[in-house]
Amino acid sequence: MESSSVSDYYQQSAQFAPVEVVDHAATSAMLFRLCLYGFFIELKPSEAYLNAFLTTDKGFTNQETNDLIYPWFSYGQLLMLVAMPLVVERFQYRTVLLIESIGFLFTRILLLSGSSLFLMQAMQVTYAVGTVSKVVYLCMIYREIKQEEYHQATAVIWTASLGGQFAAGLLGQVLVSYQATLWLLNYISLANVCVALCIAVSVPEHAADLVPPAHTMLVDVDPLSTYDTTRTSSENLRHDIETRRRRRQLLVARRRTWHWTNFLAVSWIAFKCCESLMANYIQNRWSTFPDTADSNGLATALYTASGALASGGISCLVTRTTAKWLQWYLFGGGVTLLVLAYMQTIATSLDVSYVSYVLYGAVYYAIITTVSAELAMQCTTNQYAKMFSIVALGAACLETALTFLLQGTHAQTTTWFDGITWLHVLLLLFYVFVYCTLEPEPLAAEVDMPQY
């Protein structure tokens, strides 16, 4: 191969090798804007009272919301996720972030101005558009930091988002306690979404855009990267060949192994589907108790607060993970979520339902923070959004299938939580099968790569 050909080869593939890492100030500024955006986009005090607003102020029955309105969120989410991998391929992450905020903005407008069943169904679809677009929320910061910082960055992003939900739940509870109308809560939510949209406009595509070019440097943070500007073309070529040989050895070293990418993807899909169903139908569950469900806002605030504390705590405690530790961590978390989902099904009082819901949030966010960070570590820089789009699509497909099967069971709201419980059972059976029949490959951080 001629020298010019080698040079052309690396110039064309440079986007897959070096990762642009800006200095600490730029990365921190990027992280701050994303956290601020995540806080305000979730600061919607009317969320905990959506079902009450639809049934009292909009005049729909509990049966109509359960069977004719809420399912459209799952359907819209599925359709949007089918297109999301193509969207993140063709558009900048920042554009997708704007789509999220605009989707939530139209949700607020339709909810306030609409009154027909069709407009409420459209409101659920636009809400699905905003929710699906969140796949880029974590991905934007993953591109700017080193892999060893993924757990901490994931926890910070989740904590900011959950902090907005906590503040929203607390604000909603206080306003309702002082006899504020649900219309007021929805107008406050609309205002905060507008603030989030303004922040989204100020978020750059890369952290490097926040500082002068002189503050930016190129650092190779990928241990498998085959490109180094300090080497000659022939040295890069030899390094590339040796690294590819090493990769092939790692792939064929064990025939009876399972890959963490697939395992983590299945876990993410199952956990996300269960949490989404729990959040969608918990208000209907609370409405089945004879007690007055006037503490929904407080329960939602505690749910998100416990999630934020768990997410931040696990990121501080876990500095280095191993394959054995991670598999038992996921199994233990799955068992705990199964028990809490079952408690929600058999709850005999509103207080028991509140407590199991709050604990479910704490365990879920402790698990999903770790799963998200570990899943990102399996991806290259340009694959973050695509990977999270794919697993989100899987979760939406599973949620849509369960929604289709359970739709029409409004007379027994606990049936939805029976479905969540059985999904956790199936996930645990999957874990047992994998653990007993296959051997896990080492995590990327455990593999000692050759040094040159």
Specify the higher pLDDT residue, 171 or 376: 171
**Distance, CA of 118 to CA of 123 (rounded, Å):** 9
Mean pLDDT score of the chain: 77
CA atoms within 13 A on the CB side of 431: 21
Proportion of the chain above pLDDT 90, given as a percent: 23
* 219 C-beta neighbours (distance < 10 Å), count: 11
Specify the higher pLDDT residue, 293 or 324: 324
pLDDT of 78 strictly over 90? no
The tens digit of pLDDT for each residue in 257-293 reads 567 788 888 999 999 999 988 887 888 788 888 776 6
**CB of 157 within 8 A of CB of 35?**
yes
Helices (H), 91-205: 93-113, 117-132, 135-142, 150-177, 182-202
**CB of 340 within 8 A of CB of 359?**
yes
The hierarchical CATH code for the domain 24-212+253-446 is 1.20.1250.20
pLDDT at 206: 66
Proportion of the chain above pLDDT 70, given as a percent: 73
In this prediction the pTM is 0.67
Instruction: Give φ, ψ of 259 to 5 degrees.
Output: -95, 135
pLDDT of 216 strictly over 50? no
Which residues on neighbouring strands pair with residue 258, listed in sequence order?
440
The tens digit of pLDDT for each residue in 99-115 reads 889 999 999 999 999 88
**CB of 344 within 8 A of CB of 353?**
yes
Specify the higher pLDDT residue, 123 or 63: 123
pLDDT of 445 strictly over 60? no
pLDDT of 122 strictly over 90? yes
Name, of 16-20, 316-320, 343-347, the range with top average pLDDT: 343-347
The tens digit of pLDDT for each residue in 5-34 reads 434 433 443 343 334 444 567 777 888 888
pLDDT of 154 strictly over 90? no
